[in-house]
Amino acid sequence: MPCQVLTIKLRTGVDEGREFPLTLPGEDAAPEVQVGDRIRVFQNAAGVPGADPSTTGIDSYAFSDFERGGSVGILALVFAVLVIALGRVKGMLSLIGLGLSLLVVLQFIVPAILDGSPPLLVALVGGMAVMLATLGLTHGIGPTSLAAALGAAGALLVIAVLAVVMVESAHLTGFSSEESTLLLSGQETARLSLEGLVLAGIVIAALGVLDDVCVSQASTVLALRRANPAQSFGRLFGEAMSVGRDHLSATVNTLVFAYVGAALPLLLIFETQRITLGQAVERESVAEEIVGMLVGSIGLILAVPVTTALAAMLSRVLPGEAIAAEEPHHHHH
């Protein structure tokens, strides 16, 4: 039985440095707090700040949540150190690219959607910006990144069109999640198009994997061209596609499992309620995930031949020196 009443010492606020009793919520669901844990509390509306709770019978403060910044920060640091240790300059650049991408999301995509711009357009523009920034940083400006960017742009458009068609035909409203209910209750966010948010989510989710497939296809074509500059377009395309097929099955798995992982609690709920897969698909919360997963995967599959063809064309058109200038160490995978 975890203890219900704790003593807390406040580090900030009106009562800084003072100690207070704190009663934890819920008999069974009480959070497991140990001595020395840092937690966040909020002032009880009923409690009188600074008053002696023994006289009012109500605690001045109530448990809000654990403070997690520290442990999350340490994990992020470990991630950054590993990326730089293994990737060296490339790793450094990819971290900068990641930072830029997050900036685009937080400084452009989110505010633009809140301003009432159509979320799908915002996601497409933001997505392309992220793509160009990360490609330019990690692969330089050259035939690889050019072919990869064009291939990815094509795939993103296909994903957008497909997503629109599917969201309309499957009547995905975006109302199923708890977050959307919260959004609609907010003052600034009440007029948001939740349907648009579903679409934007699908586009952004597909971005990362697309980048990966497009770069490796473009790299493969140019590596083949370097190995034998006399190869025809058809030959280059065919050889690179056989590599792409191997890569594709792995990547589609990546995408599917990302969605399955996110939907795990849902799957458990359905299992306990004895809901069959067929019935589950009827529910919006599930249909939304499945549509996102399939639309993203279709875009991904189309991105492979498109990027490969573009890269093969580029590598035939560009003089051999331009391709030789992209030294082999640029091609990782």
User: Is residue 127 within 8 Å of residue 112, measured between CB atoms?
Assistant: no
pLDDT at 260: 87
Q: The pTM is what?
A: 0.75
pLDDT at 304: 95
Other residues' Cβ atoms within 10 Å of the Cβ of residue 72: 9
pLDDT at 12: 80
Q: Give residue limits of the domains in the chain.
A: 5-66, 89-330
The neighbouring-strand residues paired with 20 are 8
Closest C-alpha among 217, 239, 243 to residue 314: 217
Residue-by-residue DSSP string for 149-210:
HHHHHHHHHHHHHHHHHHHHHTT--S-SSHHHHHHHHSTTTTT--HHHHHHHHHHHHHHHHH
Q: Domain 89-330 maps to which CATH number in 1.20.1740, 1.20.1640, 3.40.30, 3.10.450?
A: 1.20.1640
Strand 19-23 to 5-9 pairing: antiparallel
Kindly list the averaged pLDDT for each block of 10 residues, start to end, along the chain of length 333.
72 80 70 80 64 60 82 95 94 92 93 91 94 87 90 93 93 84 80 86 87 92 92 94 92 87 87 87 87 92 94 84 57 53
pLDDT at 323: 63
pLDDT at 52: 54
Closest C-alpha among 136, 132, 127 to residue 156: 127
User: Is residue 241 within 8 Å of residue 304, measured between CB atoms?
Assistant: yes
Q: Is residue 113 classed as helix, strand or coil in its secondary structure?
A: helix
